[in-house]
């Protein structure tokens, strides 16, 4: 198998791939010790069975530019096929502000084609290609060189089998007329907002039982400081301080180094230097926040008056619709979404786009008393009401 180590070799392969209708891709990366993913390997394959049709790219080689690959990403005549693409796309967006276009994600397509919730690559290889998948190198440190032949073989298998999976799923979508379902889902993956993190909004990802605006004002400032510090230092957020320490600090509101020293959950490195200074400044900003600028928790769903009987009927309807359509139920609506619909909310994803075709229209009709449900044996049927 060939490993590309120069920009010229990469350009030559990408030019050859551009002559085909699609190319399959995958990446290997590390993120345990950094904020941003460290790209360690790129696997690529184009249609064909020759050894030259599938290659590895070593992005760790000095002087190698990924620009030929990004040119291929911009070539809209070639479909770029990934499996579970989100983390791969984040790497390329952060590095070059580019998305593969057009994109095909086999995990999304598999959910639409009835392979269950978030079907793994190994599952699709087994069910579609009918081959076992070597998992021996799954926990490789992909930044170490040289890679063994076993590691290379394992990595290349992530794109060679993907060719058969893509061709199968694309044909299934064409037959079922569901290609636009997948395209609608992929628009989320190619939206910059999916990957661009705004520090001032980072607090929304912190789980806390305290919803006091005063408390959340401090959490907001601490989360924003941590996000900026982690980005600049290229460190994982938890290496700055963990969420549990953040909520402790928001509760105790330390004013000086002595107060920080009393924290039970704060890492030793965060009790001094730039992190300690940043924490104290963030806490002071949060404490001084004017009431009209304090974050307000979204309590809309807490106050919903859910009709439990209607919510149960919606669950039955969802199960029936997704089974008959052979599509994963979780792709349509969550349990919280069904409760929201039963409580009268209508700004729910299940009531728009292709989800409305499968489930949303009848869900609204059920809520409005226009249809009922009846069971015969194992089958649930929709009954029109006059």
Task: Please give the domain boundaries of the chain with CATH numbers for all domains.
Answer: 2-194 (3.30.420.10), 199-293 (1.10.150.80), 308-384 (1.10.150)
Lowest-confidence range among 111-120, 178-187, 191-200, 234-243? 111-120
pLDDT for the residue 300:
63
pLDDT for the residue 299:
66
Q: How confident is the model at residue 133 (pLDDT cuts 50, 70, 90)?
A: confident
Q: Regarding predicted confidence, which is higher, 100 or 49?
A: 100
pLDDT for the residue 70:
98
Residues 239-250: what's their mean pLDDT? Answer: 97
Q: How confident is the model at residue 186 (pLDDT cuts 50, 70, 90)?
A: very high
Q: How confident is the model at residue 302 (pLDDT cuts 50, 70, 90)?
A: low
Question: Does residue 284 have a pLDDT over 90?
Answer: yes
What torsion, rounded to 10 degrees, do the Cα atoms 56, 58, 63, 65 define? 60
pLDDT for the residue 272:
93
Residues 345-367: what's their mean pLDDT? Answer: 95
Residues 130-139: what's their mean pLDDT? Answer: 82
Question: Does residue 348 have a pLDDT over 70?
Answer: yes
Q: How confident is the model at residue 365 (pLDDT cuts 50, 70, 90)?
A: very high
Lowest-confidence range among 129-138, 142-151, 174-183? 129-138
Between CA 199 and CA 117 the distance in angstroms is 31
> What integer best gives the mean pLDDT of the chain?
94
pLDDT for the residue 138:
77
Question: Does residue 304 have a pLDDT over 90?
Answer: no
Between CA 105 and CA 133 the distance in angstroms is 19
Query: Pairing state of beta strands 103-105 and 54-57?
Result: unpaired
pLDDT in tens, 156-165: 999 999 999 9
Residues 198-207: what's their mean pLDDT? Answer: 94
Q: How confident is the model at residue 103 (pLDDT cuts 50, 70, 90)?
A: very high
SS (H, E, C) the chain: CEEECCHHHHHHHHHHHCCCCEEEEEEEEECCCCCCCEEEEEEEECCCCCHHHEEEECCCCCCCCCHHHHHHHHCCCCEEEECCCHHHHHHHHHHHCCCCCCEEEHHHHHHHCCCCCCCCHHHHHHHHHCCCCCCCCCCCCCCCCCCCHHHHHHHHHHHHHHHHHHHHHHHHHHHHCCHHHHHHHHHHHCCHHHCCCCHHHHHHHCCCCCCCHHHHHHHHHHHHHHHHHHHHHCCCHHHHCCHHHHHHHHHHCCCCHHHHHCCCCCCHHHHCHHHHHHHHHHHHHHHCCCHHHCCCCCCCCCCCCCCHHHHHHHHHHHHHHHHHHCCCHHHHCCHHHHHHHHCCCCCCHHHCHHHHHHHHHHHHHHHCCCEEEEEECCEEEEEECC
Query: Pairing state of beta strands 103-105 and 379-384?
Result: unpaired
What is the Cα Rg of the chain in Å?
25
Share of the chain above pLDDT 70, in %: 98
Main-chain phi, psi angles of 330, to 5 degrees: -65, -20
Question: Does residue 140 have a pLDDT over 90?
Answer: no
Between CA 55 and CA 42 the distance in angstroms is 9
Residues 149-153: what's their mean pLDDT? Answer: 93
Are 270 and 240 contacting, i.e. CB atoms less than 8 angstroms apart?
Answer: yes
The predicted model scores a pTM of 0.89
Question: Does residue 8 have a pLDDT over 90?
Answer: yes
């Amino acid at each position: 198998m060939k490993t590309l180590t120069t920009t010229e070799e990469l350009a030559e392969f990408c030019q050859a791939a551009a002559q085909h209708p699609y190319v399959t891709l995958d990446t290997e990366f590390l993120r345990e010790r950094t904020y941003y993913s460290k790209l360690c390997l790129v696997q690529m394959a184009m249609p064909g069975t020759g050894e030259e049709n599938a290659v590895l790219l070593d992005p760790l080689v000095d002087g190698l530019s990924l620009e030929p690959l990004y040119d291929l990403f911009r070539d809209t005549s070639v479909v770029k096929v990934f499996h579970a693409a989100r983390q791969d796309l984040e790497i390329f967006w952060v590095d070059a502000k580019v998305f593969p276009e057009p994109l095909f994600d086999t995990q999304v397509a598999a959910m639409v084609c009835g392979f269950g919730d978030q079907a793994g690559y190994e599952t699709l290889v087994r069910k579609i290609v009918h081959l076992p998948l070597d998992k021996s190198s799954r926990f490789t440190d992909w930044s170490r060189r040289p890679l063994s032949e076993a590691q290379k073989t394992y990595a290349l298998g992530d794109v060679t089998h993907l060719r058969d999976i893509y061709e199968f799923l694309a044909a299934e979508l064409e037959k079922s007329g569901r290609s636009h379902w997948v395209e609608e889902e992929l628009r989320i993956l190619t939206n910059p907002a999916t990957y661009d993190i705004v520090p001032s909004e980072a607090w929304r990802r912190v789980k806390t039982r305290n919803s006091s605006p005063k408390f959340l004002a401090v959490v907001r400032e601490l989360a924003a400081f941590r996000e900026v510090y982690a980005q600049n230092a290229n460190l994982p957020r938890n290496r700055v301080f963990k969420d549990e320490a953040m909520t402790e600090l928001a509760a105790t509101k330390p004013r000086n180094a002595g107060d920080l020293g009393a924290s039970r959950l704060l890492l030793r490195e965060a009790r001094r230097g730039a992190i300690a200074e940043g924490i104290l400044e963030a806490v002071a900003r949060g404490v001084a926040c004017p009431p009209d600028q304090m974050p307000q928790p979204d309590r809309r769903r807490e106050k919903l008056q859910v009709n439990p009987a209607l919510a149960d009927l919606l669950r039955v309807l969802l199960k029936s619709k997704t089974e008959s359509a052979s599509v994963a139920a979780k792709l349509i609506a969550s349990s919280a979404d069904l409760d929201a619909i039963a409580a009268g909310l209508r700004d729910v994803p299940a009531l728009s786009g292709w989800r409305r075709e499968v489930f949303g229209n009848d869900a609204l009709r059920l809520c409005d008393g226009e249809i009922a449900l009846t069971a015969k044996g194992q089958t649930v049927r929709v009954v029109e009401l006059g």
